[in-house]
Amino acid sequence: MRLVDLFQESSPRILDALLAARGHVSTVAWLAAACDLDRRTVKRCLTHLQRLGVVSVDRRFSAGAVVALNDSLVAQALLAFHGALAAAEA
C-alpha cells in the first residue's frame, strides 16, 4: 500500500479525527461536523478506507453508522505515526 492510496480527497482529515478520538464512538454525522465536510463526502471516504481495511463501519445503530479504526497493520501504523507527531509537537 502506498501513502497516496490512504491520503486521497478528505481522508487525511477523517483519519486525523478518528485518531484523535480513539476510544470514543464516532459516527458519520460527528465526523462530518468535526471535519467540516458534507456527509456524502465522509461516506465516500469511509467506503474507500473500509476497502483498504483501515476502518470498519457498523450501520446497525439507530443513531447512525458507527466508525472505528480496525486493528489492521495499516491502522496500527497510522496510530503510531499520530502518536509520534504528537510527541514531536510537545
Interval 29-43: pLDDT, tens: 999 999 999 999 999
Interval 8-35: pLDDT, tens: 779 999 999 999 988 788 999 999 999 9
Q: Give the list of residues 6+ apart from residue 8 with CB closer than 8 angstroms, or none.
A: 45, 48
Q: 3-89 has which fold?
A: Arc Repressor Mutant, subunit A (1.10.10)
Distance in angstroms (rounded) separating the CA atoms of residues 1 and 74: 9
Q: Give residue limits of the domains in the chain.
A: 3-89
Give the per-residue pLDDT at 1: 67
Q: Which residue in 76, 71, 69 sits closest to 17, CA to CA?
A: 69
Distance in angstroms (rounded) separating the CA atoms of residues 35 and 12: 10
Query: Over pLDDT 90: what percentage of the chain?
Result: 56
Report whether pLDDT(62) > 80.
no
Of residues 74 and 8, which shows the higher confidence score?
A: 74
